[in-house]
């Protein structure tokens, strides 16, 4: 399974700062480089229907933290503690800022009438080495942390805009890419209202994901720096070797417009437990549905639009010495794929993932709240 974005912290409260005359520990995160002190944020690159990350999330995505000494990198920023984060609200995803221009869409026509017998549900479209497509990804990650009820004044607020022509080099048994080559057309990230380009247009990125490990990256034939790998793991989504989206969110038999079905909670719980957990997820705490919303003429052929919502309660990844007492994940997703289950022409994904974690450490009561929105388009190239 693949998860679009993940959050992970180690050694909470390693840094100290004075507040109100008292010595209080603070989480320190160096956003531009991905280096962390006291806390560590990891942006995980996973697949499209969860964690990403569907958990998706998957989905939802990972460039680890580097705590080695490197004086050439910017110094870490301290996040000053603020009030506890509010529980995740049951709201539909807000539109991602400045989404890429979507291909023209139109209502169903006589040329592609709705099939009264229903449609085969297939999210994973197996490909072979040599398959080429254009990827456009735009999104934003917002992360807030609090210590002893005091929230950070700024936290993490990091939009991105990525476009590349992709060639699949290797695939797994399900036909999911495990090695991809990306020729960059555009790659922009924004930190504190300042735009930068981690990888210049024309550069070639090779992403590899094997044996259940998250992607590793080279840029121009050389290993990517940890800072660049952190950005790339946010936008480049690949399988981590777990269950496929069809196994977790698919349905047997044909489905008609308006039909809905439950996610496979047992399979999803097993898949999530492949990761280190302080609060392992249980199937009874996972709820979610997928609905076939409509058929429409998109990208030059008939496409199906699915909407999914997933909730996971009492789940938390293992994060250093933090003793988690509560955790939750809430995901909303809209996926457009060709109605023809054999077509690999074009697909789009709009996803929002909210993750919340609460626990205690030597620094006091800690809460972490992450909100990730993203829109991805994939168009086959000839």
- Tokens matching residue 134: 């254009």
B/e letters for 178-190, b = 16+ CB within 10 Å, e = fewer, are bbbbbebeebebe
**DSSP single-letter state for residue 283:** G
**167 found inside a domain:** yes
Residue 284 in any domain: the answer is yes
Question: Is residue 79, in this structure, part of any structural domain at all?
Answer: yes
Alpha carbon of 73 to those of 66, 176, 231, 381: distances in Å? 11, 36, 15, 38
Pick from 136, 153, 72, 128: which is nearest to 101 by CA? 136
Write down the pTM of the prediction.
0.72
Q: Which residue has the tokens 């990888």?
A: 199
CA distance 373 to 76: 25
For residue 4, tell me if it sits in a domain: no
Please report which residue ranges of 193-294 form alpha helices under DSSP H.
226-235, 245-249, 265-272
pLDDT per residue of the chain (382 residues) written in tens, 0 to 9: 444 443 333 333 333 333 333 333 333 333 333 333 333 333 333 333 333 333 333 332 223 333 334 434 444 444 343 444 444 444 444 444 444 444 444 444 445 678 889 999 999 999 999 999 999 999 999 988 888 888 866 678 889 999 999 999 999 888 999 999 999 999 999 988 889 999 999 999 999 987 667 789 999 999 999 999 989 988 998 887 788 899 999 999 999 999 999 999 999 998 888 777 878 889 999 999 999 999 998 868 899 999 999 999 988 877 777 788 889 999 999 999 999 988 988 899 999 999 998 988 888 888 889 999 999 999 999 8
CA distances from 271 to 19, 210, 275, 292, 304 (A): 42, 16, 8, 24, 27
Cβ count within 10 A of residue 93? 19
Number of domains in the chain: 1
Residue ranges of the alpha helices (H) in 236-328?
245-249, 265-272
Report yes or no on 234 lying in a domain.
yes
Radius of gyration from C-alpha coordinates of the chain: 21
φ, ψ of residue 354 in degrees (nearest 5): -115, 130
Q: Which residues contact 89 (CB under 8 A, 6 or more apart)?
A: none
Is 302 domain-assigned?
Answer: yes
Question: Is 281 domain-assigned?
Answer: yes
User: Is residue 94 domain-resident?
Assistant: no
Burial category of 285 from C-beta neighbours within 10 Å (exposed 0-12, middle 13-18, buried 19 and up): middle
Instruction: Give every CB contact of residue 263 below 8 A, 6+ residues apart in sequence.
Output: 54, 248, 249, 286, 287, 288, 289, 290, 308, 310
- Supply the range of the domain harboring residue 334: 15-85+101-380
């Amino acid at each position: 399974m693949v998860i679009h974005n993940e959050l992970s912290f180690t050694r909470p409260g390693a840094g100290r700062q004075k507040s109100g005359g008292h010595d209080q520990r603070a989480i320190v995160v160096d956003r531009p480089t991905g280096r962390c002190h006291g806390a560590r944020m990891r942006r995980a690159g996973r697949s499209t229907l969860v964690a990403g990350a569907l958990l998706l999330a998957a989905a939802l995505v990972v460039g680890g933290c580097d705590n080695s000494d490197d004086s050439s990198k910017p110094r870490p920023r301290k996040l000053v503690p603020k009030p506890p984060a509010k529980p995740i609200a049951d709201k539909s995803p807000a539109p991602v800022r400045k989404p890429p221009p979507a291909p023209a869409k139109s209502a169903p026509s006589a040329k592609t009438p709705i099939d009264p017998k229903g449609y085969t549900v297939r999210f994973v479209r197996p490909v072979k080495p040599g398959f080429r497509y254009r990827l456009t990804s735009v999104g934003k990650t917002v992360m807030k942390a609090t210590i002893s009820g005091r929230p950070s004044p700024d936290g993490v607020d990091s939009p991105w805009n990525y476009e590349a022509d992709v060639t699949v080099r290797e695939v797994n048994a399900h036909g999911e890419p495990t090695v991809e080559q990306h020729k960059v057309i555009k790659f922009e990230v924004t930190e504190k209202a300042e735009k930068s380009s981690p990888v210049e247009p024309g550069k070639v990125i090779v992403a590899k994901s094997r044996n259940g490990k998250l992607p590793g990256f080279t840029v121009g034939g050389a290993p990517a720096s940890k800072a660049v790998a952190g950005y790339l793991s946010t936008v480049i989504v690949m399988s981590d070797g777990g269950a496929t989206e069809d196994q977790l969110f698919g349905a047997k038999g044909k489905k008609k417009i308006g039909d809905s079905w439950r996610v496979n909670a047992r399979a999803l719980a097993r898949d999530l437990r492949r990761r280190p957990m302080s609060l392992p997820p249980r199937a009874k705490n996972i709820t979610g549905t997928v609905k076939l919303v409509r058929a429409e003429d998109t990208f030059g052929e008939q496409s199906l639009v699915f909407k999914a919502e997933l909730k996971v309660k009492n789940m938390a990844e293992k994060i250093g010495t933090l003793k988690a007492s509560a955790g939750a994940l809430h995901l909303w997703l809209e996926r457009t794929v060709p109605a023809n289950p054999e077509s690999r022409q074009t697909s789009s994904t709009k996803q929002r993932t909210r993750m919340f974690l609460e626990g205690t450490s030597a620094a006091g009561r800690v809460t972490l709240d992450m909100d990730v929105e993203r829109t991805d388009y994939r168009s086959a190239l000839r």
